[in-house]
Structure 1
């Protein structure tokens, strides 16, 4: 069973599963969303955890590979009164023309995508020159001990449950495609916020 089937099965229960982490993640989601401007694409929108934090004046387009998640996010956007459109789409195969967006947002997505390099190329392709990509991601910690004692066991558990990989180095991959203008490391690098500009 792949990640699509696993997330589809979770549906609304995903909110309950992640609720204990909200007090850590939601302030970071709010900060990440504050960088969004203009025509915005969010990849891997999931159940819409980022939606309450976006500026009200953006034009939001959001994609996810799991139809059940897209429907939950769409309902949440309606409740929030957001100007948003939703699509069932893979991050590695974005069905948008090149140079379409002012901002691309990825929030806890690269731990799940099957081909991170291809997804990063797609983000770069659809972003307008001079505009920003925002990454809020699980990453390998700067502390080896933390990786072995905490992240490795968590990686095994989440791999079985959701096909997630919490030990990826998305922060290093992003540097290959974007000029990083802002970077924050939280919880010894377990979570990182990066803002990169397409040059």
Structure 2
């Protein structure tokens, strides 16, 4: 597929790159262990979506073969040093997850961490990931979601989202359902914080 960059989203994350490390450090203190447990499951050629400034590279298993993409060139510039310090191969690429230039069935694993709360067209992005994943391949995700078991929290996230959308995430996404709509078969969904932060593991069935 021909790659077409979402310039508005790119500019937003270029601006966010200046303060991104501060907020990422807060996430890593709370959830670093969960990130490491999830990313330890990557296998084969792996597409890591939304590199940011590279703060999650340390949670990847050593020796992995990683392509890490981000829509923001300023994020990627900051990620270079962390990629160089990784004990394996990380290739950094500027790319929009909704319009990738990789052929079908390129990757064995796709990994995302707090990514699809910020993708403007989440189902389109997930369908692109399905396309570039090999049959039998897996997608590993940790994501903010709306949640359903605790209604008042879901309503609160609905009310907060118009504000949070201005600087980054939408906190009320129905990401588990979107993964299924994109064609994946769910393998495991686990609550990490209440039911508003989840890990999602799914596969692309062999035809």
**Structure 1 length normalisation: TM-score?**
0.91
Which string of whole-angstrom CA distances, capped at 9 and with x for unpartnered residues, describes residues 107-153 of structure 1?
1111111111111111111111011011111101222101223x234
Pick from 89, 93, 96: which aligns with 1:87? 93
- Give me the whole-angstrom Cα distance separating, in 2, the residues matched to 1:3 and 1:97: 24
Higher deviation after alignment, 122-131 or 14-23: 14-23
- Give me the whole-angstrom Cα distance separating, in 2, the residues matched to 1:7 and 1:107: 16
Q: 1:115 to 1:9 in 2, by over 3 A?
A: same
Question: Does the CA contact (< 8 Å) of 2:144 and 2:173 recur in 1?
Answer: yes
Q: Which residue of 2 aligns with 1:178?
A: 184
Which string of whole-angstrom CA distances, capped at 9 and with x for unpartnered residues, describes residues 22-64 of structure 1?
2222122112201101100011111123211111222100111
Higher deviation after alignment, 16-25 or 126-135: 16-25
Deviation, 1:104, is 0.5
Higher deviation after alignment, 81-90 or 125-134: 81-90
- Give me the whole-angstrom Cα distance separating, in 2, the residues matched to 1:19 and 1:28: 14
- Give me the whole-angstrom Cα distance separating, in 2, the residues matched to 1:153 and 1:75: 38
Q: Which residue of 1 aligns with 2:201?
A: 195
User: Secondary structure at the residue paired with 1:29?
Assistant: helix
Q: Which residue of 1 aligns with 2:3?
A: none
The gaps in structure 1 that reach 5 residues or longer are: none
User: Secondary structure at the residue paired with 2:99?
Assistant: coil
Pick from 110, 126, 129: which aligns with 1:104? 110
Q: Which residue of 2 aligns with 1:159?
A: 165
Q: Which residue of 1 aligns with 2:126?
A: 120
Q: Which residue of 2 aligns with 1:135?
A: 141
Deviation, 1:12, is 4.2
Runs of 4+ in 1 over 4 A off after TM superposition: none
Question: What does 1:30-41 align with in structure 2 at a 5 Å threshold?
Answer: 30-41=36-47
User: Secondary structure at the residue paired with 1:80?
Assistant: coil
- Give me the whole-angstrom Cα distance separating, in 2, the residues matched to 1:171 and 1:86: 27
RMSD (Å) for aligned C-alpha atoms: 1.7
Q: Which residue of 1 aligns with 2:61?
A: 55
- Give me the whole-angstrom Cα distance separating, in 2, the residues matched to 1:44 and 1:159: 17
Q: Which residue of 1 aligns with 2:4?
A: none
- Give me the whole-angstrom Cα distance separating, in 2, the residues matched to 1:21 and 1:61: 22
- Give me the whole-angstrom Cα distance separating, in 2, the residues matched to 1:23 and 1:17: 10
